[in-house]
């Protein structure tokens, strides 16, 4: 064989030009690939990068659009009917190694048909990949072809797949409003929704972690000396935070064997409400019930006005200007002092 060779198979021309490194099929530059190795690797790589769902849509969309080009080309040949064009296309594809496709029940009026695909290159790739479900390229490709031939959008339904153990795949075609563009947009919306849901879950997790951290740091119980604990009140207290503080304080006082509870109000923000004052009163009374005496330090002028307006009686609780004064007082009550 020389550097140039030409053969004709069933009326189709195949030409090789080894000098130029060209393979010509029906006058067009073509490429040959090994199906079970090179093409399988190509498909595997696309799926690895894009993900199985996205890559499946890529193959389906590409197959349809390529088929549409073929169908529109043959539709322009006026002396060729749809059935003749379909036979010519499937024979051409068979000679190019696309497997054997036969068309059944083609009805031009209803624009419906059924295709049987056997031993296609896509099926062989799927087998090499170890797939349990067939690909969508060829199914969508013939949908594109007949969309071009019929002049209307055709879509498909897979009835059976050769990969499932059948002799051949069976695919039904019919007019439909489904388009590849709609499928692309639908996948994009789905991915966007999944991303939003993922971000919302992350925000929820971080918010929960932050809330737990704030609960740990907010109003901690500090055992400063034997029998004396300090609880600094920080920020603002709503109903939920007040309940947490009350439960946390009362449940930990016995563990510290606290005789004196010093509530430090120095860190309370402006805008103190009667709710905050009520919380202070509840903690003091509850602590008394379990045998712990409450001392309040750091009452601001604003807080003292709110206490008066709230008509809450704190006269039974000892109050001091600073935390240092409160600690000295608690020690003195126990017959001790700081040297």
The 10s digit of each residue's pLDDT in 178-225 is 888 777 677 667 666 767 777 777 777 777 777 666 665 566 788 888
Share of the chain above pLDDT 90, in %: 32
Q: Cα(12)–Cα(25) distance, rounded to whole angstroms?
A: 8
User: What is the Cα Rg of the chain in Å?
Assistant: 40
pTM score, two decimals?
Answer: 0.56
Query: Can you give the residue ranges of every domain in the chain?
Result: 33-178, 218-333
* Superfamily for the 33-178 domain: Trafficking protein particle complex subunit 3 (3.30.1380.20)
Q: What is the pLDDT of residues 142-190, one digit of tens each?
A: 999 999 999 999 999 999 999 999 999 999 999 998 888 777 677 667 6
Element of type H or E holding 224: strand 222-225
Q: What is the pLDDT of residues 31-66, one digit of tens each?
A: 888 888 888 898 889 888 888 888 888 888 999 999
Q: Which tokens sit at 13? A: 């021309």
pLDDT of amino acid 295: 93
Average pLDDT over residues 14-26: 86
126 close to 155: Cβ distance less than 8 angstroms: no
pLDDT of amino acid 212: 66
Q: How confident is the model at residue 73 (pLDDT cuts 50, 70, 90)?
A: confident
- Relative to beta strand 318-320, strand 293-297 is parallel
Q: Which tokens sit at 329? A: 């007082």
β-sheet with 4-9: strand ranges across: 4-9, 12-17, 22-25, 28-30
Average pLDDT over residues 107-116: 96
From the list 183, 170, 176, the residue with the least C-alpha distance to 154 is: 176
152 close to 111: Cβ distance less than 8 angstroms: yes
pLDDT of amino acid 187: 61
Average pLDDT over residues 237-261: 85
For domain 218-333, give the CATH number.
3.30.750.24
For the chain, how are helix, strand and coil distributed in percent, rounded to 5? 50, 20, 30
């Amino acid at each position: 064989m020389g550097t140039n060779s030409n053969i004709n198979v069933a009326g189709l021309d195949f030409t090789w030009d080894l000098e130029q490194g060209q393979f010509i099929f029906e006058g067009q530059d073509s490429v040959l690939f090994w199906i079970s190795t090179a093409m399988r690797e190509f498909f595997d790589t696309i799926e690895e990068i894009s993900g199985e769902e996205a890559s499946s849509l890529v193959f389906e969309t590409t197959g349809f659009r390529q088929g549409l080009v073929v169908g529109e080309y043959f539709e322009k040949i006026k002396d060729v009917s749809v059935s003749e064009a379909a036979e010519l296309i499937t024979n051409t594809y068979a000679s190019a190694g696309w497997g054997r496709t036969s068309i059944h029940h083609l009805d031009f009026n209803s624009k419906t048909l059924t295709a049987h695909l056997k031993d296609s290159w896509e099926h062989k790739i799927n087998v090499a990949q170890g797939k349990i479900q067939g690909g969508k390229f060829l199914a969508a490709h013939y949908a594109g072809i007949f969309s071009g031939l019929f002049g209307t959008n055709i879509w498909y339904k897979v009835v059976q797949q050769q990969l499932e153990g059948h002799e051949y795949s069976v695919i039904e075609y019919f007019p439909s409003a489904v388009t590849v563009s709609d499928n692309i947009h639908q996948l994009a919306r789905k991915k966007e929704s999944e991303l939003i849901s993922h971000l919302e879950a992350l925000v929820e997790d971080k918010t929960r972690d932050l809330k737990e951290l704030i609960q740990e740091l907010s109003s901690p119980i500090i055992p400063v000396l034997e029998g004396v604990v300090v609880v600094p009140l920080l920020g603002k207290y709503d109903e939920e935070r007040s309940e947490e503080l009350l439960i946390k304080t009362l449940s930990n006082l016995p563990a510290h064997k606290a005789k004196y509870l010093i509530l430090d109000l120095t860190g309370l923000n402006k805008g103190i409400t009667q709710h905050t004052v009520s919380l202070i009163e509840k903690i003091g009374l509850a602590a008394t019930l379990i045998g712990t005496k409450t001392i309040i330090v750091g009452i601001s002028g604003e807080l003292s006005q709110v206490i008066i307006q709230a008509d809450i009686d704190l006269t039974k609780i000892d109050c001091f200007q600073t935390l240092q004064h409160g600690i000295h007082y608690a020690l003195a009550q126990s017959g001790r002092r700081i040297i």
